[in-house]
């Protein structure tokens, strides 16, 4: 059943308008200034305006904090200076009074005094969509995560106001910017309600936990108590630990911080490049470390997934960025639907060459993800990109992850570690097999198209030779068949080199026999 339309008062709109209008004016001027600059350098005034925008989002409340986190990963919309400011936007909001939250808990799982052995009414954390409490359940220490009171209604109203104001601002925005912002709001509308649905988060926890356990990684994924979990309440086993950024305490525990940074990066890269689902919000509040060095992962509301094609194109993009190859970069972006295939390739190439010029001569292992994203920002900001949602989540995840790893190990180099992981995990071999299979697929498609003209070619040859039974005519279909056979052999060689190259040799011999066959 469709939801009832949201009622918005003039007062609601005016309150938000008065706060956002100055932000909007500064943003549009800063954006135009950056786009006009051929060689943009860091601007402290633009950075200050970005910080003012962040402060305004915090004042406007939970929905705007979440929205700010989303757009912090949109280099097609924000200048670098704004991105730096928005990346600091933490999902931390003072918890609502327990008496307002208690009815939500009891409406979903029953009377607190009857369900739990004990319940601490002081929240241990507060976020924009929910807050967390400690309790005991059947002798186990558990955490109870509960929606803020009326959060869905508030979010719906906030999004309706934002959409209305964006419509009013349409005349003052270029078409591309309006469409991009409208798409961001539409995507945000679906995402934020997913994050507030704890049944979906419970499913995320179980899927990610299963993948991690299969690899026997030194990671704790909390157990969910399904009998106490609903769309508004999530109950999990409590696993205390030291915050991942508390470097002094971790060092005092005798934990190897360099190794911890490596394991943390490996954990998220495996999720991204191996699994069908990845944790997309590795900010410090969501990661702790147990006494024995085991990583504890919290909060599974924001997740993403990459299909096989996008995953391999992402690897190819990294290769292009790290090797400063504009053609590989463009091919990858087009394949991921991040860039229109009709974009002016010559102009794009020149822009990319200028953007990556500052990395020339710098060893790959010294390049960092922030630098690469900065390059991507310079390029993306100049053209009408259409970043897919999962790539936005990936960019946010990678940026947060690198920041945390560098706190643990100042010498941490994201790209160097990534390359090492790709070699050790065999992912580069997977990439090469994928590229060969794509080559074979495209070749077979081309041959299939060529078969459409085969009857006409055969008839023409017969008419020219005057002999409809000429044995030479068999050379054409035989050659095409052997072409298929050779391509299949190359593909087989990616998994079984002996068999593949043996078949390839056989196809060459047969082709030579057909080619030099006497009439």
> pLDDT tens, 136-149?
999 999 999 999 99
Q: Which residue would you say has higher pLDDT here, 151 or 337? A: 151
Q: d(Cα 300, Cα 280) in Å, to the nearest integer?
A: 8
Written as one string, the DSSP assignment of 130-144 is EEEEEEEETTEEEEE
Q: How far, in Å, CA of 117 to CA of 135, rounded? A: 7
Average pLDDT, the chain: 80
| Beta pairing, strands 130-137 & 278-279 | unpaired
CA angle 268, 274, 276 (to 5 degrees): 95
- Residue 400 and residue 402: Cα distance in Å, rounded? 6
Q: Write the DSSP string, 219-256.
A: EE-PPB-GGG--SSEEEEE----EETT-HHHHHHTT--
Distance CA 332, CA 321 (A): 10
Among 89-103, 164-178, 222-236, 326-340, where is mean pLDDT lowest?
326-340
- pLDDT value of residue 1: 43
* Res 313: pLDDT: 81
Pairing of strands 295-297, 219-220: parallel
CA distances from 239 to 39, 45, 425 (A): 50, 44, 29
For 295, list phi and psi in degrees, rounded to 5: -80, 135
Six-digit token pair at 416? 């160097």
Query: pLDDT over 90 for what percent of the chain?
Result: 33
Contacts of residue 100, defined as CB under 8 A and 6 or more positions apart, other chains included, come to 149
Nearest to 250 by CA among 126, 142, 134, 404: 404
Banded model confidence at residue 425, pLDDT cuts 50, 70, 90:
confident
CB 145 within 8 A of CB 124: no
Q: Measured between alpha carbons, how far is 295 from 30 in angstroms, rounded to an integer?
A: 41
What b/e sequence results for 108-146 when a residue is b if at least 16 CB atoms lie within 10 Å of its CB, and e otherwise?
bbeebeebbeebeeebebbbbbbbbbbbebeeeebbbbb
Q: Which H or E run contains 184?
A: helix 175-195
Q: What is the mean pLDDT of residues 253-271?
A: 92
For residue 500, what is the enclosing H or E element? helix 497-515
How does pLDDT run across 452-487, given as a tens digit for each residue? 555 555 555 555 555 545 555 555 556 555 565 666
pLDDT score at 11: 86
Query: How confident is the model over 193-211, as a mean pLDDT?
Result: 94
Residue of 230, 238, 241, 235 whose CA lies nearest to 145: 235
Distance between CA 286 and CA 263 in Å, rounded?
16
Cβ(314)–Cβ(376) below 8 Å: no
Is 281 in the active site?
Answer: yes
Helices 308-322/427-451 angle, 10° precision: 110
More confident residue, 382 or 500: 500
Residues 408, 387: Cα–Cα separation, whole Å = 31
Q: Is the dihedral of CA 394, 397, 403, 407 positive or negative?
A: negative
Which 3 state secondary structure label does DSSP give 293? Answer: coil
Phi and psi angles of residue 119, each rounded to the nearest 5 degrees, phi first: -150, 120
**pLDDT 10s digits, 50-92:** 999 999 998 998 899 889 888 887 777 888 889 888 877 776 7
pLDDT in the model for residue 384: 52
CB proximity list for 77: less than 8 A, separation 6 or greater: 71, 177, 180, 181, 184
DSSP 2-43: PPPPPP--HHHHHHHHHHHHHHHHHHHHHHHHHHH-SS----
Output the six-digit token pair for 287: 């990661």
Measuring CA to CA, how many Å separate 441 from each of 133, 267, 432, 507? 54, 33, 14, 18
Q: Which of 76, 265, 281, 430 is catalytic?
A: 281
- End-to-end Cα separation, the chain, in angstroms: 75
- Distance of CA 411 to CAs 254, 311, 408, 423, Å? 19, 27, 9, 20
Lowest mean pLDDT among 35-49, 167-181, 240-254, 335-349: 335-349
Strand runs labelled E in 63-120: 118-119
């Amino acid at each position: 059943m469709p939801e009832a339309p949201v009622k918005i008062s003039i007062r609601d709109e005016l309150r938000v308008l008065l706060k956002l209008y100055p932000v909007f004016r500064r943003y549009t001027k800063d954006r135009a200034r950056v786009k006009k600059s051929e060689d943009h350098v860091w601007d402290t005034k633009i950075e200050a305006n970005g910080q003012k925008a962040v402060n305004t989002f915090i004042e406007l409340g939970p929905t705007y904090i979440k929205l700010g986190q989303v757009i912090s990963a949109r280099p097609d919309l924000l200048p670098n200076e704004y991105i730096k400011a928005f990346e600091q936007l933490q999902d931390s909001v003072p918890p609502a009074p327990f008496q307002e939250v208690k009815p939500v808990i009891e409406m979903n799982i029953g009377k607190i005094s009857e369900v739990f052995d004990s319940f601490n009414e002081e929240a241990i954390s507060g976020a924009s969509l929910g807050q967390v409490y400690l309790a005991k359940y059947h002798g186990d220490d558990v955490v109870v995560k509960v929606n803020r009171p009326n959060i869905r209604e508030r979010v719906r109203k906030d999004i309706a106001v934002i959409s209305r104001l964006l419509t009013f601002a349409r005349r003052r925005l270029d078409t591309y910017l309006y469409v991009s912002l409208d798409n961001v709001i539409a995507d945000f509308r679906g995402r934020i309600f997913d994050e507030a649905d704890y049944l979906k988060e419970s499913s995320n926890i179980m899927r990610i936990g299963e993948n991690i356990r299969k690899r026997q990684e030194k990671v704790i994924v909390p157990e969910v108590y399904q009998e106490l979990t609903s769309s508004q309440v999530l109950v999990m086993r409590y696993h205390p630990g030291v915050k991942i950024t508390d470097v002094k305490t971790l060092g005092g525990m005798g934990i190897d911080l360099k190794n911890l940074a490596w394991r943390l990066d490996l954990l998220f890269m495996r999720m991204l490049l191996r699994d069908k689902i990845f944790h997309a919000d590795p900010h410090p509040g969501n990661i702790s470390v147990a006494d024995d060095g085991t990583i504890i992962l919290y909060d599974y509301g924001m997740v993403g997934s990459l299909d096989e094609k996008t995953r391999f194109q992402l690897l190819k993009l990294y290769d292009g960025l790290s090797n400063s190859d504009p053609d590989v970069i463009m091919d990858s972006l087009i394949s991921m639907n991040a860039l229109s295939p009709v974009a002016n390739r010559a102009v794009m190439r020149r822009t990319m060459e200028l953007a990556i010029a500052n990395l020339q001569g710098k060893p790959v292992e010294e390049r960092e993800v922030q630098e690469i994203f900065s390059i991507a920002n310079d390029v993306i900001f100049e053209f009408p990109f259409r970043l897919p949602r999962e790539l936005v989540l990936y960019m946010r995840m990678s940026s947060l992850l690198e920041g945390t790893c560098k706190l643990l190990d100042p010498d941490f180099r994201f790209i160097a570690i990534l390359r090492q992981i790709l070699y050790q995990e065999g992912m580069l071999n997977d990439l090469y097999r994928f590229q060969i299979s794509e080559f074979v697929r495209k070749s077979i498609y081309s041959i299939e198209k060529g078969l459409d003209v085969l009857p006409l070619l055969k008839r023409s040859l017969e008419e020219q030779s005057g002999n409809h039974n000429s044995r030479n005519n068999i050379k054409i279909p035989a050659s095409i068949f052997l072409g298929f056979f050779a391509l299949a052999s190359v593909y087989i060689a990616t998994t079984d080199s002996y068999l593949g190259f043996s078949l390839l040799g056989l196809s060459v011999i047969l082709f030579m026999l057909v080619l030099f066959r006497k009439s």
